[in-house]
C-alpha cells in the first residue's frame, strides 16, 4: 500500500462548481499535512497546511480526520485558473523533515 494515496482523476468540472479531493495516509504517527499545487510542467507550490481543526483560505477548505487517516481539500466556486494537479503531502513519521508525496489529483475546470 502506498504511504499517501490519492484518486488521480482527472476531475473535470465547470466553472463555479464545488469540487472535493480526498487523500489517505498509512502511518498514523504522521504529524503534519499539506496540500501543494503543481501546474503543468511547473514546480510544486504550497497551497495550504492542514490543521487538526480544519482551516480555510478563501475558496479553499482543508480538513484532517486523524481517526480515519484522511485529508480533504474542498474548492468552492472553482475558477479556470484552479486547473492543476493537487498533491497531498504528509510528513514522515520517523523524520519530520521528510515529506511523503501523493501522486496527485488532476483537476480541469472548464468554461
Partner 1 sequence: DAGVIQSPRHEVTEMGQEVTLRCKPISGHNSLFWYRQTMMRGLELLIYFNNNVPIDDSGMPEDRFSAKMPNASFSTLKIQPSEPRDSAVYFCASSLVGTHEQYFGPGTRLTVT
Binding site for partner 1 (CB under 8 A): 32, 34, 42-46, 49, 87, 91, 95-99, 101-104
Q: What are the phi and psi torsion angles at 22 (to 5°)?
A: -120, 160
**Shortest CB 32 distance to partner 1, Å:** 6
Q: Which is nearer to partner 1, 65 or 96 (CB)?
A: 96
**Shortest CB 2 distance to partner 1, Å:** 9
Q: Which is nearer to partner 1, 18 or 31 (CB)?
A: 31
Please count the helices (runs of H) and the strands (runs of E) in the chain.
Answer: 0, 11
Q: Please list, in sequence order, all residues whose beta carbon lies within 8 angstroms of the beta carbon of residue 34, skipping any fewer than 6 positions away.
A: 46, 47, 48, 49, 50, 88, 89, 90, 99
**Shortest CB 56 distance to partner 1, Å:** 18
Amino acid at each position: 500500500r502506498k504511504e499517501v494515496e490519492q484518486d488521480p482523476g482527472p476531475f473535470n468540472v465547470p466553472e463555479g462548481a464545488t469540487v472535493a479531493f480526498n487523500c489517505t495516509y498509512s502511518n498514523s504517527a504522521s504529524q503534519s499535512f499539506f496540500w501543494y499545487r503543481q501546474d503543468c510542467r511547473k514546480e510544486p507550490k504550497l497551497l495550504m497546511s492542514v490543521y487538526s481543526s480544519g482551516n480555510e483560505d478563501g475558496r479553499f477548505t482543508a480538513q484532517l480526520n486523524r481517526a480515519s487517516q484522511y485529508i480533504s481539500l474542498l474548492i468552492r466556486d472553482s475558477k479556470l485558473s484552479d486547473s492543476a494537479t493537487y498533491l497531498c503531502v504528509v510528513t514522515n513519521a520517523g523524520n519530520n523533515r521528510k515529506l511523503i508525496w501523493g501522486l496527485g489529483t488532476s483537476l480541469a475546470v472548464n468554461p
